[in-house]
Amino acid sequence: MRIMSVDLGMARTGVALCDPAETLASPLCVIHERREDQLLEELARIAKEQGAERIVVGLPKNMDGSSGERAQACQAMAERLEAICGIQTVLFDERCTTVSAHQYLNATDTRGKKRKQVVDAVAAVIILEDYIRYRKNNGEE
């Protein structure tokens, strides 16, 4: 299944996509859009253009597992995205993905402007990899 993941941010939103066999997750782009309606339209366009069959939206839970204001906003965005594009949209825990993305970028010595441009897409890849691993470990089709 071709799955697209989204790391929603206040200023930048990372997008990643996997191959149909769900073996490789790759960064696709970073969208620089603060206006919610335009962001959702762009995400829907990309999903349709890329042939996504499911969209995974990162759910920023608190470290204790509770849902805060940002998690509720992401849930509302995911619901709106599904309504706009008609593609099943699921929420998936994204705790620590941005921290992990920064660690990956440290390991590759990606710094400065380049780092800022890709960190959100790398976080989206981590969300997607975690989701794919979850699906495989739970026998989900």
DSSP reduced 3-state for 65: coil
Question: Hey, where are the domains in the chain?
Answer: 3-137
Q: Encoding tokens for residue 76?
A: 């509302």
* Model pLDDT for residues 8-45, shown as the tens digit of each residue: 988 889 999 999 999 999 999 999 999 999 999 999 99
100-136, pLDDT tens digit by residue?
A: 555 655 555 555 655 556 667 888 898 999 899 899 9
CATH superfamily of 3-137: YqgF/RNase H-like domain (3.30.420.140)
Of 132, 136, 59, 137, the residue nearest 96 (C-alpha): 59
- Whole-angstrom distance, CA of residue 117 vs CA of residue 88: 28
CA distance 121 to 5: 9
Per-residue buried b or exposed e for 92-112, using 16+ beta carbons within 10 Å of the residue's own CB: bbbeebbebbeeebeeeebee
